[in-house]
Every structure is written in structure tokens, then in C-alpha cells.
Amino acid sequence: MTVSPGAISPAADLSTDLLRDTAIRRITARMIAAPTTRNHKLSNTSVTHQGYILVEVLLENGVIGYGEGSTLGGPRWAEESVEAMKANIDTYLAPALVGQPGCNLEAATLIMDRAAKRNYTAKSAIDMALLDALGKTLNVPAHVLLGGAVRTSIEAIWALASGDAAQEVDEAQAMIQRGWFNRFKIKLGFADPATDLARLGALQKALPSGTMIVADVNQGWSEAECIRYLPELHDLGVSLIEQPIAAGQTEASARIAARSSIPIMMDESVSTLSEAKREVAAATGSVLSLKLCKHGSVHNLKRVAGIAAAGGVQMYGGCLLESSIGAAGHLHVFATLPHLEWGTEQFGPKILVEDLVSDSLRYEDFRVHLPTGPGLGVTPDPEMIDKYARNA
């Protein structure tokens, strides 16, 4: 094959050049504590500062990619904390990857899996940074590397979690007025069920008729409480119930799903492919919340989604209060899913006092819009990152 000057090189040469140019020179991780606009409560913790691990990957071509892993109040929502993520990235994951081709995303995932078990949030942050760096290298948006977007915007869901009914009503109405969110999730499980249901009732009365409401119990109820209170959630017009009992209680979850008139969404119960197979086969839910921090990489998220879809389960784009960095990573993979029936709750950038980027995600017409630039399509703000970085 003859190639004239200035023409594209043969595929073999392109491959060799890409392997060399995208070799990983350095991986660094920083801990971030970004303040939120209000207290965000869950069944087992509350958050006033959101914890992130911010990963920076430098390739041999000089391109820098950024990724983000999020936690909720330390190792309470899952086993990882920002402190543990930094230690494991610095000590095990980064040394295993330095010198490897950053364009080989699947191989990088296998290398990380050999270097450390689980640690899905830390791995997903590195995977996101590699995806960002590769997109910037090739000058294409990240979703192109994942099969291409089938949607450029997604219906957006806002979470209400202060525990103060009046405040939550005001907050929800403000989101509607701004045109940002008109679908809502309300966090339950941190008060007794009667108190939680009273909050939910106040919200339901104040919102326009037919407003979609997701009730997230965050594993806070028992099977007996579900039997007692799920009919009341139906009467209050709840559209979807998220993870009402503890992950791992597969048989009880299946019984709850079978008797519920409202769809049940699996969240904490499904991280791995084997968990997806088990829970889908047991019919513990008819909807699945997808999160990079649970699945470990963009490709693993798509595989989990495929297992669920094969079992007739619908998709929901979950979040863990990511900044625009982590939210953009999620949006790029969510945009490539054949179906995302329940939209996404990637609202994290709007709950931060200050975002970590200079070009925050766009929320308009009750939708969050996919960034269009190369890589993740957002630009980290060094001033904001330095301002909220933690040294210990």
C-alpha cells in the first residue's frame, strides 16, 4: 500500500503511534471536600461536604484526562472512602498502569482487577480519566468511543433529602420555576415511616398533579415495614421505589417486588455482573439504577445494563452527587444505552456551592444536556480544585 505525503498512515502505523502516544506517564489522585447547598440526608448518614477522589492521568503525548469518584459521608453508602481510594490508587492501581497504553481501556480494567479486588469507585475514576484523555487525543467526545450517543439530552431528576417538609416543597417548586427539574426523588428511611410518609404527603400535595416521584428508602426498611407501608406509597402517587431493604436479602426483595403495585428499583444490590444476573433472575426489581461507582468502568456499566435489559428490566441513570466532571462521565455512557426509560438524577453539579469546572453542565427544559467537546467535554477549574482539595 502506497501512502502519499500528508495522507493518513496505514492502520498498523496508526495503531503503533496511538499505543506509544497514549502510554500512561503518570496517575495522580487528590481528595476533594466540596460544600453542598444544604444538608443531604440518607438512611445511614448525612452530607454537608461531598467527598470526591479526583484522578488526573498524564499520557506521553502530553494530554491530561480527568476522572472523578464520589462517596457519601465516607464508607457508609459503600465500603470505599476518599482516603482509601487515594491510598489504593497511589499504592496499587497507578503503579500497575504506568507505562501501559492508555487507549486500551479494557486491558486497563483487567490490570486494575489484578492489582486490587473490588475498589469499584477508584477504578471507575481512573477509567473515566483514561476515557477523557483518549477522547481528547482523538478529538472526539467520549461517547463516540463507547458506540456513539443515541440521545443528546436526558430527563433530569432532583433529589430532596433535607428531612424538612416545608424546605423540600420550596426547593422542588424553585427547581420547576427555573426549568431545571420537574421530576423528584425523596429520600426516606432516616426517620420513622410515619414521619417520612407525612413529608412525602406534603410534597405530593404541593407539586403539580402527575409529577413523577421516586421514593428512595436507601435500604432503611424491613420486609414487614414494606408490607405495611408500600400501599401508602401507592396512595401517595409514588412512581418508583428504590432499594427499600438491605442489599443481599434476595428472597425477601423478590417477595416485596411480587406484591408491590409500584415498580421496585435495584441499586445497592447490584454492582457486579454476577449480582445483576442473580437479582434479575430472582425478580427483585423491574428497574436498575446504574452508577459508575458501583460497576467499576464504563464498559462494565454497559455489560450490567445488558444483563438487566435481557431480563426485561428498565434503566435509570443514578448518581452519587458528582460534580460536572463525574456527571459528564456518566452522561456519556448513559447517552449510548439503547434505553434509559427513567431518565437520570445527575443533579450533583446543582447541589454544590461551587462546581469543580469552569463550564458546568447545562440544565434546560427539565433535561440535562450531553457535553459536546472532546473527551468528557468539561474543563476542570484549578482554582476550585485547589480551594476544596484535602491534604489529609
Average pLDDT in the 192-221 region? 94
Averaged confidence pLDDT in the chain: 93
Q: Are 152 and 185 in contact (CB under 8 A)?
A: no
CB-based contacts of 54, cutoff 8 Å, min separation 6: 29, 30, 31, 32, 66, 67, 68, 125, 325, 356, 380, 385
384, amino acid identity: M
Other C-beta atoms closer than 10 Å to the C-beta of 132 total 30
**Structure confidence by residue, pLDDT tens digits, 55-106:** 999 999 999 999 999 998 777 667 899 999 999 999 999 999 999 999 999 9
> CA 236 to CA 370: how far, in whole Å?
33
Domains 14-139 and 145-386 share a fold: no
Fold assignment, 145-386:
TIM Barrel (3.20.20)
Using CA atoms, how far residue 93 sits from 17, 88, 97, 118, in Å, is 25, 6, 6, 12
Give the per-residue pLDDT at 16. Answer: 86
Give the per-residue pLDDT at 104. Answer: 96
Does 1.10.10.10 match the CATH number of domain 14-139? no
For the entire predicted model, the pTM comes to 0.94
> CA 380 to CA 370: how far, in whole Å?
16
**Structure confidence by residue, pLDDT tens digits, 172-183:** 999 999 999 999
> CA 210 to CA 238: how far, in whole Å?
10
Instruction: Give me the catalytic one of 187, 294, 302, 350.
Output: 187
> CA 362 to CA 110: how far, in whole Å?
34
83 is catalytic: no
**Structure confidence by residue, pLDDT tens digits, 299-329:** 999 999 999 999 999 999 999 999 999 999 9
Average pLDDT in the 163-167 region? 91
322 is catalytic: no
Instruction: Give me the catalytic one of 56, 275, 279, 345.
Output: 345
At 3, is the pLDDT very low, low, confident or very high (cuts 50, 70, 90)? very low
DSSP-H helix ranges across 27-118: 82-88, 94-97, 105-115
- Domain extents in the chain: 14-139, 145-386
